[in-house]
Amino acid sequence: MLTQLYIRDFAIVHELSLTFDSGFTVLTGETGAGKSILIDALALVLGGRAE
């Protein structure tokens, strides 16, 4: 289970630290808030390729 994610210098994110509780996590936000950037960072952590 993923409990914490630390992102630095990725796309427009300078530095971000997120902590996840157990259970279901939902990402919400306005257009341009960075939801897709967070998903892209997770994909890289899981072995995805950077584009």
User: Is residue 36 a part of any domain in this protein?
Assistant: yes
DSSP for the chain reads ---EEEEEEETTEEEEEEE--SS-------TTSSHHHHHHHHHHHTTPPP-
Closest by alpha carbon to 34, among 4, 49, 14? 14
User: Is residue 51 a part of any domain in this protein?
Assistant: no
Query: What domain range is 32 assigned to?
Result: 4-45
Q: What domain count does the chain have?
A: 1
pTM over 0.85: no
**Is pLDDT at 45 greater than 80 in this prediction?**
yes
User: Is residue 27 a part of any domain in this protein?
Assistant: yes
> 5: which 2 tokens?
């994610």
Contact residues for 9 (Cβ-Cβ < 8 A; gap 6+): 15
CB 23 within 8 A of CB 34: no
User: Is residue 50 a part of any domain in this protein?
Assistant: no
Q: Report the pLDDT value the prediction gives residue 51, as an integer from 0 to 100.
A: 76
